[in-house]
Structure 1
Amino acid sequence: MNEISRRIIPNSLVLSLGIALVFLSAFLLGFLYKPWVVLTLSLIGVIVIGLVIKHAGAKPNGDKFF
């Protein structure tokens, strides 16, 4: 299933959509809550995106992420 989704949707598109979603949600919550909530959510988003890049880039044949 992972192989199929990787061929249909490019990894860079998934990555850019994830980054856009994280920052959009952080900015929207920034208007509703305090700034430390925005910083915490941004940090969590950066960690999640880093794990996604590490997981998708760790292929046994040595292919790059992009």
Structure 2
Amino acid sequence: MQERTFQLLGLLGFILSGMFFTAAGIKSGDLLTLGGSLVWILACLIWLIPVLRDKDQER
């Protein structure tokens, strides 16, 4: 596998874990957990942009 594939899989795993934490925060009613998990997902999505952009530039 190429390095970018590992990066994408890792980032998707981080995003998935953020979704689980978001669900846990909603279920428990914990606003701190909910806010932190949403910030986590947003940061992962921002981190994903250059990874995807680099892949498009190589074509």
Task: Please indicate, yes or no, whether the TM-score normalized by the shorter chain is above 0.5.
Answer: yes
Residue segments in structure 1 that go unaligned for 5+ positions in a row:
1-5
TM-score by length of 2: 0.56
Offset of 1:27 from its aligned partner? 0.4
Residue segments in structure 2 that go unaligned for 5+ positions in a row:
none
How many percent identity over aligned positions? Answer: 11
More helix by share: 2
TM-score by length of 1: 0.52
Counterpart check, 1:11 vs 2:7: yes
Offset of 1:42 from its aligned partner? 5.8
RMSD of Structure 2 on Structure 1 (CA): 3.2
User: Equivalent residue for 2:22?
Assistant: 26
Larger Rg: 1
The number of equivalent residue pairs is 57
Q: Deviation per CA, 1:11-44: give whole Å up to 9, x if none.
A: 121111111111000001111116x774x45642
